[in-house]
Amino acid sequence: MAQGKLLYAQSGGVTAVINATAAAVIEAARAVKLPVLAGQNGIVGVLREELIDTRKESAADIRRLAQTPGGAFGSCRFKLKDIDTDRAHYERLIDVCRAHDVRYFLYNGGNDSADTALKVSQLAKEFDYPLTCIGVPKTVDNDLAVTDCCPGFGSVAKYTATSVLEASYDVAAMAESSTKVFVMEVMGRHAGWIAAAAGLAGNGKDEPPHLILFPEVPYDEKAVLAEIQRVVDRVGWCTVVVSEGLRHPDGRFVAEAGGKDAFGHVQLGGVGPTLAGTITSKLGLKTHWAVPDYLQRSARHIASQTDYDHARAVGEAAVALALAGKNAVMPAIKRTSDQPYRWMIEPAPLKKVANHEKKMPKGYIRRDGFGITDSCRRYLAPLIRGEAPLEYGHDGLPKFVKLKRQLVAKKLPDYPL
């Protein structure tokens, strides 16, 4: 029987399958009689000693949790700085863990979360407190180092490719007397993985999306407008997919709105409508635009089976690694074959993940900068395959779960943030 308790927390932007990971963590822990606490609203809840007792949740609700989007325990955008600057926060985390006999800490998030888990493991060692820290991968941006792909990405990729395909049929039907250009903005501040996924919608010179604009390729307005006009002249209409992180050659975001978020990231103001306005004013073409925003990352109804399998696998592996004492690691997905698609889970040191960013390889972007290559297609295609299980009710809507989220009693003084 495992010693102490396990503390699980969700971080950053949520995904269609992050709760599948949470369910897998809880079920794997229950199998070995290991109690699981969950931070309410991520690391913020841990600092405030607001810990959810998952033992109060029924087995049926935890099973349904696996098909529920969002972050069931609450997430947050709260970046812990380095230990010297933010030492009080890190010491508070250790104090909370000690007060509740937490021996395993699983932080489910992206780059910043991996960095936090690594630093907590270092401080626990300094304090001689027995705490095993595991980073659990999650991000729709697919930009974590080491792992072949990130849970959450496959589903947003499937949503993106499907939406582009569907909308393009609409545009094609209306192009003779109405809309000529459709612009869809997708997430991706620095890495163009989601934009690239749109390329799966078609595979030919005249198939949509006709242009994909990546953060990795500097924006050349003249070249982009010329290509859009060529496509409209040849096909009769044009679908453009643009990443929110599209940049000018000098590095400025095309849609920079000013201000920064909690992580120090520049706030973006909507490159989709900006580009659409440019097309209309300079080419005189009727243009429609769409910004899926939260829709693309919360679309559980079209979640990929592969992504769902990945999400559950990293949750189960995280518990196994923690119980084995594998400190400061992350369960990473390793691809062993493209055709047929095969993969496995192996531990990766957090120091190789934290603060590293995986951008699109040059070999995945077409030479003209407006599309994906065959090698990129081979990488992406397996990640959107299959449809994750989803139960529907008599009202025709998905049957999601809302957990009790009952907090354990506090043992420490309040900690204002």
* Residues classed as catalytic: 141
Q: DSSP code of 205?
A: T
Rounded Cα distance between 184 and 275, Å, is 10
Residues 6+ positions from 18 with CB-CB distance below 8 Å: 10, 70, 71, 108, 138, 151, 152, 311
**Sequence-ordered list of residues with C-beta below 8 angstroms from that of 118, at least 6 positions apart, any chain:** 133, 135, 328, 350, 351, 354
Residue matched to tokens 């229950």: 30
Where b means 16+ CB within 10 Å and e means fewer, 287-301 reads bbbbbbeeebbbbbb
**Cα separation of 350 and 331, whole Å?**
10
From the list 259, 250, 144, 255, the residue with the least C-alpha distance to 191 is: 144
Do 183 and 289 meet the contact criterion of CB atoms below 8 Å apart? yes
First to last CA, the chain: 36
Q: Classify 212 as helix, strand or coil.
A: strand
Q: Which residues neighbour 27 within 8 Å (Cβ) at sequence distance 6 or greater?
A: 62, 316
DSSP letter string, 306-366: HHHHHHHHHHHHHHHHHHTT-TTEEEEEEEEETTTTEEEEEEEEGGGTTT------GGGB-
- What span, in angstroms and rounded, lies between the C-alpha atoms of 28 and 167? 41
Sheet containing 287-290: which strands, arranged edge to edge?
Answer: 211-213, 238-243, 181-186, 287-290
Neighbours of 244 (CB within 10 A): 23
Nearest residue to 61 (alpha-carbon basis) of 49, 78, 79, 73:
73
Strands 287-290, 266-268: pairing is: unpaired
